[in-house]
Each structure stands twice: as C-alpha cells, then as structure tokens.
C-alpha cells in the first residue's frame, strides 16, 4: 500500500502532526470521496475523475455556519462561492472538489443535498452559497464527456467520515497530475501549543500543477534514480483546504491561509500563469447560528500579537508542503483516456 512520506522517513518542518496526520484531526471535520474509473464508450472516452467532499462539522452546516475565508494565489480557476465567503466570512455548505467541467453538476448535487436537509432555504429564508473548487484533469479524464453527475456529489457527501481520509488518486484527485507525475488528494496536520492549550491545523490539497524539472525533490531525497517526466498538467492548479479549531476571525484566518502559499512554493511551484492556486480556510471554533434575535453576538479570537499566531503561520506552511508530498507518495500509476498514462513518483 502507498505510504505517507513521513512513514518513509521524510519529515517536513518542526511541528508535531496530529494523530492521523490528516485534515480530519480537526475534530468534527469529515471527508468523503467518490471515484470514477471506467471506460465510457468505444471511442476511447474514459471517466478518470471524481468528487471529494469536506464537511467542516457533523451538524447542519446551513443552520450552524463556520467562520471562513479564501485567498487567491493565482486566479486561473473556476470556483464557486468564494465571493460571498470573503464578503460575509462564513461557509454554510460542504466544500466540494472536482474537475473543471464537473463544477456545475457538483454544485447542483450539493445544492440538492442542502435543500433536502433545510426545507426553509429559498422559501422562508434566503438562498445558500455552495463552495466548489476544481482542477483540470483532461489529460487522463474525458472531460468533454462530463462524466460527473449531481448524484456523485451526493454520494461523496453521504460517504464523508471523520476517519483518516484516503489519499492519492481518489475522489477529485483520480485524474490529477503533480510535477509531471501522478498527483491528487493529499493531507497532513499540525499541532500548535501554548502551555496547556493545543490547537490543530489540518490541510487537504487537490494537486495538479508543475513540471518535473520544477520539483525540488532533492531536498527530500538525495537520489532515487527516477527519470524526469516530460508531462505537465494542462492549466495546472491546486486547491488547498485548511481547517483549524483555533479561534480566529475571518480576517485572521485570511492571514493564516496566505501562508499555505509558502508550503506550495517550497515544493517548487511558482504559481504559473495558467494555474488556479486557491486556498479555502475555516475554523470550527465558531458555530454561527443562521437565525438569531440578538443584536450583538460575541466570539472569541486570539490576540494578534501572541506568539501562537506565528505557530499557526508555520503550521499552515508545513501542513501544505507535506500534504502535497502525500498526494504524490500515495498516488498510483494511472491509465486514462486514449491510453494516456501517468506514472507514480517513486520516493
């Protein structure tokens, strides 16, 4: 079975990981995948793609929203919902990941799930903001055939669990590439401490960026004898989802998730022209009621100048870097449309 890089002796950074070294180390966070890997017709069309759902907590996300933010490193992307996330500072739906042309279907399926579980949406209260991120998997996946359906989004949400999330060529990561090798879903976590207080930072990435010559593999391995890949993702991108239980405001969360770009850069990325490099972050410390008669609401947040903020910055960078490496180490060689093949990277 493929291993996380830490199991191979590659240690990123200085902070400790959570028990599972996964985004689900943040209490209540759930992850679900649905993976498509099948021939579609006699003309070589192949479904090599999927959907990944990240649910910030186990309750009703519309009724109990979470403080959130997003940050665009490079905006060559087709996400939905981020404008409102940054305006209001909350997320009220699962965070969904898929391929570029799967965004409409995944949005529809997620919307249906939220309508089914909240009868008042669009009736006795307002509408809902669905968040979907994407990367282009068209080298391996017959993206023009639009194999993703709304039901696939529903299945991914239904399968969401607090267990250690599966990584590599699964879910939305099934058809993705990273540095010319097989990429996809990767995750990692960090623990920050002050006295007896511990906070968890968890990261999940959908990696689909970079050329082999850009990968700074030498900093992790002296030599593995692997030949350089000539493949590179079409309009390569990465979606980074950062979760924490630290009590942060939306503005503070923005400061933290900006540091995910440091972890991305450490692997060799320079946020290329055609890359959609986007970070979505949330904290489970605040559950914000959809309806309230109160004029004022009170939330706790960390002091800006407390040293633990620097730990959170470091945690975001470290967890992102390691999550990207995990997306490579756990992905297996994959064959997709028209016999296209992407090799796994051999750490």
Q: How far is CA 293 from CA 125, 201, 266, 290, in A?
A: 14, 33, 47, 11
Whether 275 is catalytic? yes
* Marked catalytic residue, from 237, 249, 250, 327: 237
Structure tokens at 87: 């305006």
Active site residue 277: yes
> H or E stretch including 206?
strand 197-208
Of 232, 275, 327, 329, the active-site residue reads: 275
In this structure, the number of other CB atoms found within 10 A of the CB of residue 98 comes to: 31
Considering only CA atoms, which of 247, 310, 315, 256 is closest in space to residue 17?
Answer: 315
Task: Please tell me which residue in 137, 235, 245, 277 is annotated as part of the active site.
Answer: 277
Q: How far apart are CA 141 and CA 115, in angstroms?
A: 30
Strand partners, 177: 182
Please confirm, yes or no, whether 237 is among the known catalytic residues.
yes
Within 10 angstroms of residue 295's Cβ, the number of other Cβ atoms is 5
User: Containing H/E element for 288?
Assistant: strand 276-289
β-pair partners for 335: 341
Active-site positions read 237, 275, 277
């Amino acid at each position: 079975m493929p291993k996380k890089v830490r199991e191979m002796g590659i240690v990123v950074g200085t902070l400790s990981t959570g028990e599972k070294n996964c985004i689900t180390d943040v209490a209540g966070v759930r992850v679900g995948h649905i993976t498509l890997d099948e021939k579609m017709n006699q003309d070589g069309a192949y479904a090599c793609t999927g959907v990944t759902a990240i649910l910030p907590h186990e309750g009703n996300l519309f009724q109990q929203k979470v403080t959130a933010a997003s940050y665009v490193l490079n905006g060559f992307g087709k996400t939905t919902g981020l404008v409102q996330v940054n305006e209001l500072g909350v997320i009220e739906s699962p965070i969904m990941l898929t391929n570029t042309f799967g965004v409409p279907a995944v949005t529809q399926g997620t919307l249906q799930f939220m309508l089914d579980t909240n009868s008042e949406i669009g009736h006795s209260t307002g509408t809902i903001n669905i968040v979907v991120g994407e990367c282009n998997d068209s080298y391996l996946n017959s993206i023009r055939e639009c194999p993703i359906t709304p039901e696939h989004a529903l299945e991914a949400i239904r399968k969401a669990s607090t267990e250690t999330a599966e990584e590599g060529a699964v879910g939305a990561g099934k058809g993705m590439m990273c540095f010319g090798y097989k990429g996809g879903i990767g995750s990692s976590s960090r623990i920050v401490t002050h006295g007896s207080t511990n906070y968890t930072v968890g990261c999940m990435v959908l990696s689909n960026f970079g050329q082999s010559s850009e990968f700074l593999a030498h900093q992790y391995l002296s030599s593995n004898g692997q030949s350089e890949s000539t493949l590179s993702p079409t309009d390569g991108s990465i979606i980074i989802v950062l979760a924490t239980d630290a009590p942060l405001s939306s503005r503070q969360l923005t400061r933290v998730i900006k540091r995910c770009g440091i972890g991305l850069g450490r692997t060799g990325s320079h946020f290329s022209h055609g890359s959609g490099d986007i970070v979505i972050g949330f904290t489970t410390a605040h559950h914000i009621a959809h309806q309230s008669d109160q004029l004022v609401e009170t939330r706790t947040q960390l002091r800006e100048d407390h040293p633990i903020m620097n730990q959170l910055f470091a945690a975001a960078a470290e967890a992102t870097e390691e999550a990207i490496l995990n997306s490579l180490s756990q992905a297996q060689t994959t064959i997709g449309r028209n016999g296209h093949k992407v090799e796994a990277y051999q750490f």
